[in-house]
Chain A
Amino acid sequence: MLIRYGMPVLAFLALAFAIVSTYRAIPAVVHADPPSSPPAPAYAHQVGAVGMVEAASENIAVSVPVSGLVTRVAVAVGDPVRVGQLLFSLDDRDLRAELALRESAVALARSRLAKLEASPRPEEIPPAQSRIEEARAQWEDAAVQLRLMESVKDRRAIKEEDLLRRRRAVESASARLRQAEANLKLLLAGTWKPDLEVARAEVSQAQAQVARTQADIERMQVRAPLSGKILQCKVRPGEYAASGALAQPLILLGRVDQLHLRADIDEKEAWRFAPGTPAQASVRGNAELRYDLTFVRVEPYVVPKKNLTGDATERVDTRVLQAVYALPPGAPLYPGQQMDVSIRAQEGVH
Chain B
Amino acid sequence: MREITYLEAVREAMSQEMRQNEDVFILGEDIGVYGGAFGVTRGMIEEFGPERVRNTPISEAAIAGAAVGSALTGMRPILELQFSDFITIAMDQIVNQAAKIRYMYGGKGKIPMVVRTPSGSGTGAAAQHSQSLEAWLAHIPGLKVIQPSTAYDAKGLLKSAMDDNNPVIFYEHKLLYRTIADVPEELYCIPLGQADVKREGTDVTVVATAVMVHRALEAAEELAKEGISVEVVDPRTLVPLDTETIINSVKKTGRVVVVHEAVKRGGYGGEIASMIAESEAFDYLDAPIKRLGGALSPVPYNPELEKAHAPQVNDIILATKQAMNKA
Do A and B interact? no
Interface residues of A (CB under 8 A from B): none
The residues of B with any CB-CB pair to A shorter than 8 Å are none
